[in-house]
Structure 1
Amino acid sequence: MAAIAAARAIASAPQIAACFPWSIDMYRGPEVQPFAVAPRVTPTDTIPVHGGEAPMSIGEATIKMHNPLEPTPQNLAKGHVQFDTYCAPCHGDNGQGKGPVAHLLMKSPKNLITGASKNLPDGYIYGAIRNGVLTMPSYANEMPIEQRWQAVMYLRSMQAAQKNKLAGK
């Protein structure tokens, strides 16, 4: 009983509010103005070394980008995996725009096999994967550069197979 009375007395006694010394450092600390010293300027014609890419529009990619990879069986197999992972949900396994989630989208995905993309340069398709186009999102953060080119290569092999099929070969 005495312990409860002592606890009540201690709890009801006024306490002096004491701050820790670091809780007021924002008031006492030195004032630092943003841009008091100009930031370093990145040298021209350089790109970040942490894996970033230079900014480029789809139009620039169309003109400047060319697939650096050889169409080896390994690259085509890896491209198939990339296509199945990132492209097939919307464009379908056969690339004709009837993937399993296509019915959920506001606009139907493009037919990559017989549509306009068969006439577009590799750089445009690479740029569309990298930057996104119309309602298609960007896959720049999901697919590294090499995987994007492998997906483009695999798409081209699917388009060639369709062309051969229509030609009766």
Structure 2
Amino acid sequence: MKSLLLLLGLCLSSILCKAQQNLLSYDDLVYLINNNLQKADDFMQSKGYTLLKSKKATNLKYHMALPGNSSTDVELRADGRRLYIYIATDELQQLNLVNNSIAPYLLGAEETSGVVNYKVKDLGNIYIMVTDKVPFNPIKKDYDIRIVSDRNITAYN
């Protein structure tokens, strides 16, 4: 009986935790920063993002529609052997997941004129801006998350 309840609890928790599998966390960002664009392409498509057409070979753009008229756009840009990540979303869970997952690896934080800058171990700098949604919606906001890797973090071939 105990094993049946344990199995039921594990199945229920896996179903409930599935809601965040499409959102990007610290581990996902570290994987994207440390790997080349081809591996990033496979990874993002396995997370459920759709690839948008891009004119440059060094830029990849992804889009994912979320329930509740929310969406997340992710842009990966390669500059030599370094990758830059830009996440534009109106999903509060994405912002909370990034903030909660980087908390154990946080080296420092500062805020200047509406931009929060986090210095994160093995990742680099994360810049987060929160702006009002156009047209104005008091419930939803736009969240811009930019990840700039440190100079010593390069993508592997």
TM norm structure 2:
0.25
Radius of gyration: which is bigger?
1
